[in-house]
Amino acid sequence: MKSNIQKVYSKLPKTELSVQKVELGIMQETEKSISNHKKIRSQIDNSLDKWYTNIIKARDDFGKIEVDFKNFNSSVDELKNYIKEIENMAKQLGVEYNAIPGYNEAKAYVNTSEDIIDEYKEDKKLANKIK
């Protein structure tokens, strides 16, 4: 004869225990996933903070570049003036200005300065976008 407890257990559905195992497994997997997410979340948060700090520093450093660019631009203007003077003097004297020492080098520096000026303008646009 079966005891009352055995009768009750025998009448319980057999799937109830497996459902509880599944629920426990899901809970454990969820906890693992949450733990992993916290770790990854912390990593991305730290990476973004570091990146933002570097961006702000780069923006602040652009002030030094602006001073350097003003000096560079003045130097280019000075070279352009000397080139014009050389060309005018050479014309008055009836000589070829290419033969005058320093002319070709000054002209080359002025011609290649446009690349630096263009780069500065693009970089300034970027710096201005950083708030």
Supply the pLDDT for residue 82: 94
Supply the pLDDT for residue 122: 93
Supply the pLDDT for residue 21: 65
CB 78 within 8 A of CB 70: no
Render the chain in DSSP notation, one character per residue: ---HHHHHHHHS-THHHHHHHHHHHHHHHHHHHHHHHHHHHHHHHHHHHHHHHHHHHHHHHHHHHHHHHHHHHHHHHHHHHHHHHHHHHHHHHT--GGGSTTHHHHHHHHHHHHHHHHHHHHHHHHHHH--
Supply the pLDDT for residue 17: 56
Q: Give the position of tokens 């290419």.
A: 98
DSSP state of 1: -
Structural domain spans, the chain? 17-129
For the chain (131 residues), the mean pLDDT of every run of 10, in chain order, is 62 58 78 94 95 90 92 96 94 89 94 93 89 71
Supply the pLDDT for residue 19: 59
